[in-house]
Amino acid sequence: MVLKSFVEVHPESHFPLQNLPYGMFKPNHCSEARPGVAIGDFVLDISVIASAGLLDGPFLRNSNCFNQPNLNKFLELGRPAWKEAHATLQKLLSETEPTLRDNANLRQKALVPMEKVQMLLPVAVGDYTDFYSSINHARNCGLMFRGAGEPIKPNWFHLPIAYHGRASSIVVSGTDIIRPRGQDRPVGNSPPYFGPSRKMDFELEMAAVVGPGNELGKPVDVNEAADHIFGLVLMNDWSARDIQGWECIPLGPFLGKNFGTTISPWIVPLDSLEPFACDAPTQNPPPLPYLSEKKSRNYDISLEVHIKPSGHEDSYVVSKSNFKHLYWTIAQQLAHHTINGCNLKPGDLLGSGTISGPEPDSYGSLLELTWNGQKPLTIAGETRTFLQDGDEVIISGFCKGDGYTVGFGTCSGKILPFPA
């Protein structure tokens, strides 16, 4: 039986009753932040539902987690509380439940038109780690910069490679990104170039949002790692390829990456993605025991990248990929992150790394799509090797169910010139 809500939900909406992703919002600019779930073209204000005493199950009744400026305290409660909240909200919004449906006063307070709200970062991000888990992306980068001899280094097949990113520059979808300045490699005997990046790029990613976390010195077992992941968001981990290329040896990304990372405002819980779980790619050689999962799973999430060129009203698809292409799973990423005793905390983000598919039109960055500028794209009659000022990048992601869609909305950002 297909679940239906008394709230009208368009068949192509990303936010049916089967989804109910969580976010933080303001009904207007003067109000305080409060938690909500998306349902059709509305946001259900969970703080109103909680104040009405409707979230009274054993894991939530004594908690003030929905009276907070972010979702961190709710994430800390763990999967039993998440399941309880989802089941309660799903029941309240169903077409057969009268509690909210037939209470006009409560309904008016609790359901806010999405077009009127201001979306905020859903969590306070204490730490952010960016992985490098797509074999197609790793191979493409290796071919470009190291040649065909050994495009992927042997260690990549034994552990999920990652680096620590900058949490303070993570922004919510719709936030403009100022073109960063930095150095680029010198030409001949000249000093290094210094100025605005000339190779601004997007990176098609998703990020796992950490739930309960773990204590310092106590690793998380790979087969229990999913209980430490609340859900997924879309991510654009912007990259200044020229700055990054000059600075990255020997330590890795710094100014080429830490100027901005955009995430979608809605976190889709893993429980909502469960119907779309699929087998992960076969790993060869088999991973070490601490990374060996009893059931190695990805999720079948279709991903698209649109670019709206500066001065244009329409956007154009430049890439179609899928989360299922990731070689290292999110459970393996989290288990590896903690195997040395590192402690994760609620709200931490684990970026997947660029998600590139096997075909040229499924590559997850302009670096790959234009092969480092050698094969320019044509978008709306204009050529692009990398992003120009005024270009907007819009990422979307969704899963197709039987008569419904579970989606993430969009993750967008526009490049602005560095101030003169």
pLDDT of residue 2: 75
Backbone CA torsion sign across 285, 302, 321, 25: negative
Instruction: Report the distance separating Cα 178 and Cα 192, nearest Å.
Output: 22
Instruction: Report the distance separating Cα 104 and Cα 97, nearest Å.
Output: 14
Instruction: Report the distance separating Cα 201 and Cα 418, nearest Å.
Output: 15
pLDDT of residue 420: 76
| pLDDT range class, residue 1, cuts 50, 70, 90 | low
Does 279 score more than 90 pLDDT? yes
Please check whether residue 272 is in contact with residue 21, taking contact to mean a CB–CB distance below 8 angstroms.
yes
Mean pLDDT, the chain, integer: 97
Domains and CATH numbers, the chain: 22-120 (2.30.30.230), 128-416 (3.90.850.10)
pTM of structure:
0.97
* pLDDT mean over 123-150: 97
User: Tell me: the pLDDT tens digits for 360-406?
Assistant: 999 999 999 999 999 999 999 999 999 999 999 999 999 999 999 99
User: Tell me: the pLDDT tens digits for 62-78?
Assistant: 899 999 999 999 999 99
* pLDDT mean over 50-61: 95
User: Tell me: the pLDDT tens digits for 227-243?
Assistant: 999 999 999 999 999 99
* pLDDT mean over 32-60: 97
| pLDDT range class, residue 148, cuts 50, 70, 90 | very high
Per the annotation, the verdict on 10 as an active-site residue is no
User: Tell me: the pLDDT tens digits for 212-270?
Assistant: 999 999 999 999 999 999 999 999 999 999 999 999 999 999 999 999 999 999 999 99
DSSP-assigned letters across all residues of 377-410:
EEETTEEESSPPTT-EEEEEEEEE-SS-EEEEEE
Those residues with Cβ within 8 angstroms of residue 212's Cβ, 6 or more apart along the chain or in another chain: 75, 76, 77, 78, 227, 228, 346
pLDDT of residue 127: 98
In residues, how long is the chain?
420
Closest CA to 165 of 73, 114, 236, 213: 236
Instruction: Report the distance separating Cα 415 and Cα 388, nearest Å.
Output: 7
Of 137, 228, 325, 337, which residue is the catalytic one? 137
* pLDDT mean over 153-179: 98
Those residues with Cβ within 8 angstroms of residue 295's Cβ, 6 or more apart along the chain or in another chain: none
pLDDT of residue 30: 87
pLDDT of residue 29: 84
Percent of the chain with pLDDT over 90: 97
